[in-house]
Amino acid sequence: MRTIDDLDVAGRRVLVRSDLNVPLEDGRITDDGRIRASLPTIEALRTRGAKVVVCAHLGRPKGQVKPELSLAPVAARLGELLRADVAFATDVVGDSARAVAAALPDGGVALLENLRFEPGETSKDDAERGALADRLAALADLYVGDGFGAVHRKHASVYDVPRLLPHAAGGLIAAEVEVLKRLTEDVERPYAVALGGSKVSDKLGVIDSLLGKADRILVGGGMVFTFLKAQGHEVGKSLLEEDQLDTVRGYLRRAEETGVEFVLPVDVVAATAFSADADHGVVAADAIPADRLGLDIGPESGKLFAARLADARTVFWNGPMGVFEMEPYANGTRAVAQGLIDSGAFTVVGGGDSAAAVRRLGFDEAAFSHISTGGGASLEYLEGKTLPGLQALED
Ligand SMILES: Nc1ncnc2c1ncn2[C@@H]1O[C@H](COP(=O)(O)OP(=O)(O)O)[C@@H](O)[C@H]1O
Ligand SMILES: O=C(OP(=O)(O)O)[C@H](O)COP(=O)(O)O
């Protein structure tokens, strides 16, 4: 893969695809880790006299303009961190984007509005994605892929634009791949993988390949209820992937046959509503009341998970164990984070929210071997899948 050192960028317009998908609460950024992680590449380019046009997505607006998912607050934070003006385009490839890109001085930085406001960005139709890619490419002379968290998406800005412009990988992608490679080669065993979070339909499938690689798979977060239901338990109003129940039963069977250990919670914090103020309490994992939803693993499960991490030599963790953004449901995530640290293993935490959780709950980032900006991207890399965003940069 070419790096930015291989590009002659002085005086040229460079479109940088970053992952600036940060958590927001009431329009405020609650964790700017992904913005910080994107700074070195942007800084390096502007120092060398490039005109830097950054593009990124925020949330999943599904091709519609959703003002609450505007990147405007991210542009402001990017400017603060760069200590420079960041021009903000109020559209992705329209009049505003063209004017902002055209007006950039050498060393200047601009950010385009949320790429996913354009239906072409995430379209499965090659022509529709291609049409948006043409318009994005017209804004620049060169392309730099640096949004590691989105490299598993076959999206216009990730996959199609690099086919149209001379391109290179930014420093973040290069650094992430370097560390994750260690987890695909000779891993020190026991190798434990902890999975949680809410992107259940996206991430359940990774277990298929993990069954051939990991020694232990710990399941918490929103992912666990499909497992509990597959075992025949009631899960109330918890997050559930009905159509994956057979698949999960297959995973449980295969794990028994191959000696992989599934570690599932024995207790759950169940609440009457998705709210910090809702009535909540600890219940056995096989006795979630029909009118409640599980929002965290319980205290016994926290101890169990930490115990199953204690002698691991390698740990990969993606997905918070509970809704850590609300204090009553943060303890499971705390226990697993502490479990990783206490294990003394080679530990990698991946994912926008997982990384944010570690910081928000007050853990020292340096206590982990690596904190990756990508959750789904890391998982798919570990599966050995071809990632569209990496493939496009290699070609
Ligand atoms: N039991 C649960 N029910 C609903 N959401 C959950 C549950 N446990 C965790 N979550 C949510 O999962 C989200 C993160 O999921 P995900 O995006 O998959 O992780 P990451 O960004 O680390 O890859 C968090 O916002 C958290 O509140
Ligand atoms: O947040 C992200 O991924 P992650 O939650 O798996 O870390 C990336 O920005 C990709 O977002 P997407 O999963 O909506 O494509």
* pLDDT tens per residue, range 210-235: 999 999 999 999 999 999 999 999 99
Residue 299: the pLDDT is: 98
Report which residue type is found at 299.
Answer: P
Select from 20, 296, 323 the residue to mutate for testing ligand 1; criterion: most ligand atoms less than 8 Å from CB.
323
- Is the Cβ–Cβ distance between 132 and 121 less than 8 Å? yes
Contacts of 230 (CB under 8 A, 6+ apart): 245, 248, 249, 252
* pLDDT tens per residue, range 19-76: 999 999 999 999 999 999 999 999 999 999 999 999 999 999 999 999 999 999 999 9
Q: Within 10 Å of residue 319's Cβ, how many Cβ atoms?
A: 28
In short, whether 196's Cβ falls inside 6 Å of ligand 1 is: yes
Summarize the annotated binding site as residue ranges.
19-21, 34, 57-60, 116, 153, 203, 294, 325, 351-354
ipTM, two decimals, is: 0.98
DSSP 237: T
- Is the Cβ–Cβ distance between 144 and 17 less than 8 Å? yes
Q: What is the rounded average pLDDT of the residues 168-179? A: 96
Query: Which ligand is nearest to the Cα of residue 221, counting in written order?
Result: 1
Query: Which ligand is nearest to the Cα of residue 57, counting in written order?
Result: 2
Domains of the chain: 4-174 (3.40.50.1260), 184-383 (3.40.50.1260)
- The CA-to-CA distance between both ends of the chain, in Å, stands at 8
In short, whether 292's Cβ falls inside 6 Å of ligand 1 is: no
Residue (of 127, 128, 129, 148) closest to 56 by Cα position: 148
Q: How far is the CA of 290 from the centre of ligand 2 (A)?
A: 31
SS3 17: strand
E strand or H helix that includes residue 329: none
CA torsion, ordered 289, 292, 295, 300, to nearest 10 deg: -20
Backbone φ and ψ for 126, nearest 5 degrees, come out as: -55, -40
- Is the Cβ–Cβ distance between 110 and 104 less than 8 Å? yes
Catalytic residues: 34, 199, 352, 376
DSSP 384: T
Q: How far is the CA of 71 from the centre of ligand 2 (A)?
A: 15
Residue 165: the pLDDT is: 98
How does strand 346-350 pair with strand 314-318?
parallel
* pLDDT tens per residue, range 306-347: 999 999 999 999 999 999 999 999 999 999 999 999 999 999
- Is the Cβ–Cβ distance between 19 and 176 less than 8 Å? no
Residue 118: the pLDDT is: 98
- Is the Cβ–Cβ distance between 53 and 75 less than 8 Å? no
**For residue 90, pLDDT beyond 90:** yes
SS3 335: helix
Could you identify the residue written with the tokens 């809702």?
Answer: 278
Tell me the residue ranges of DSSP E strands in 264-306: 267-271, 280-284, 293-297
Residue 395: the pLDDT is: 86
pTM value is 0.97
Tell me the residue ranges of DSSP E strands in 221-292: 261-263, 267-271, 280-284
Tokens in use for 158? 């990730």
How far is the C-alpha of 394 from the C-alpha of 388, rounded, in Å?
A: 10
Residue nearest to atom 3 of ligand 1 (CA): 222
Query: Which ligand is nearest to the Cα of residue 320, counting in written order?
Result: 1
How far is the C-alpha of 262 from the C-alpha of 241, rounded, in Å?
A: 18
**For residue 186, pLDDT beyond 90:** no
* pLDDT tens per residue, range 267-302: 999 999 999 999 999 999 999 999 999 999 999 999
How far is the C-alpha of 267 from the C-alpha of 288, rounded, in Å?
A: 9
**For residue 91, pLDDT beyond 90:** yes
Summarize the annotated binding site for ATP as residue ranges.
203, 294, 325, 351-354
Q: What is the rounded average pLDDT of the residues 193-216? A: 95
Q: For residue 348, what pLDDT band results from cuts at 50, 70 and 90?
A: very high
What's the chain's Rg over C-alpha atoms?
A: 21
364, burial (CB in 10 Å: exposed 0-12, middle 13-18, buried 19+)? exposed
User: In whole angstroms, how far apart are CA 133 and each of 103, 237, 279?
Assistant: 21, 41, 49
